[in-house]
Amino acid sequence: MPSTSTVHPAPPAPSGQALMPLLAALAAALLWGGSFSAAKIALATFSPMSLMWLRMTLATLLLLPLAHRVLPRNVRRKDLKLLAATCLLMPCGYFLFEANALRLTTSAQAGVISSFVPLLVALGAAMFLGEALTRRVVAGLALSMAGVAWLSLAGTAGGSGSAPDPLLGNALEFLAMVCAAGSMLLVKRLSGRYGPWSLTAMQTMVGAVFFLPGATSVDTAPWDWPPEAALAVLFLGGLVTLGAFGLYNWALSRLAAARVSAFINLVPLVAVVFGWLFLEETLTPFQCLAAVMILSGVALSQGRWGMIRLRRYAPEHG
């Protein structure tokens, strides 16, 4: 790391050296997809605020030994508002909406809705960063929105203990994705002055403070937690909050963002598989069709004239 405040990305790796960065991006997608099921398991023991506090605090503790290297020594005064907005969107708003969403909908449906992020980023880039929004992207956005609505309405007919209110749950998950997209756009503006690990450290520490009220609801010692809940917290705090974003950021520093961002679209599929493996969740035939509609909308926007610009705005932080 050349300095404590800015990390300059390395030049793109030659084709012969691209395997490890691609594997890192794949691992990040697997971890992100698995986070939905892990959160569902943990929420059976902890409240949403408590889980978020535990997750952020664990990640902060893991970062402390490296704080002198990753925290910026100098923060530009005019960046304070952007940094504050970035931290409020991610992790504060994002995890607050998502943790509550996962109490009301299945991890599979939440994972599918996460595929909306690239399209939301495209829309935001057009509105706030002056990027061209092509007809293909608009069509993909509309198709995905219709799919999300269908997914939610189809889920209400099969409401169960794992999805007592999928309509509200999916709406909250969508708001979480809006927060994620907004954070990505802000990070894009800040990444020229602050390295990805610097931004990750700031967001994690702000998140630990924001979710501090959740500490009051943690009334049992870690050794008294159900084993599955403890493992879920360790997975979310260590492997997802730090590991997934760290691997993804490392891949971005070695390869073009266009190649790395393609792996984001694996997250919904992984979430569905993990929900089936660990939570015995299922998707009805209508929900499967809705999922296909959402993924088709994303694929439509990935065309030659659509996602070339969008992929520049892949997430670069945690």
Q: What is the pLDDT at residue 239?
A: 93
Which pLDDT tens digit goes with each residue over 121-157?
777 877 777 766 778 777 877 887 788 777 766 765 5
Tell me whether residue 13 is in a domain.
no
pTM, full prediction: 0.74
pLDDT digits (tens, 9 = 90+) for 191-207: 778 877 788 888 889 99
Query: Is residue 4, in this structure, part of any structural domain at all?
Result: no
DSSP of 25-71:
HHHHHHHHHHHHHHHHHHHTTS-HHHHHHHHHHHHHHHHGGGHHHHS
Instruction: For residue 248, tell me if it sits in a domain.
Output: yes
Interacting residues of 124 by C-beta distance below 8 A, sequence separation 6+: 181, 182, 185, 313
Q: Does residue 25 lie in a domain region?
A: no
Q: Average pLDDT for residues 12-33, to the nearest whole number?
A: 76
How many distinct structural domains can be found in the chain?
1
Residue 16 lies in a domain: no
Across 95-105, average pLDDT: 89
Between 162 and 68, whose confidence is greater? 68
Lowest-confidence segment of 42-56, 137-151, 166-180, 214-228 by average pLDDT: 137-151
CA nearest neighbour of 251 among 5, 34, 27: 27
Residue 98 lies in a domain: yes
- Give a yes or no: residue 187 inside a domain: yes
Q: Which domain holds residue 215?
A: 32-313
Looking at residue 51, what is its pLDDT? Answer: 92
Assess if residue 156 is contained within a domain. yes
Range with lowest mean pLDDT among 20-24, 249-253, 285-289: 249-253
What confidence score (pLDDT) does residue 116 get? Answer: 78
With cut-offs at 50, 70 and 90, classify the pLDDT of residue 164. Answer: confident
Does the pLDDT at position 312 exceed 60? Answer: no
Q: How far apart, in whole angstroms, are the C-alpha atoms of residue 17 and residue 22?
A: 10
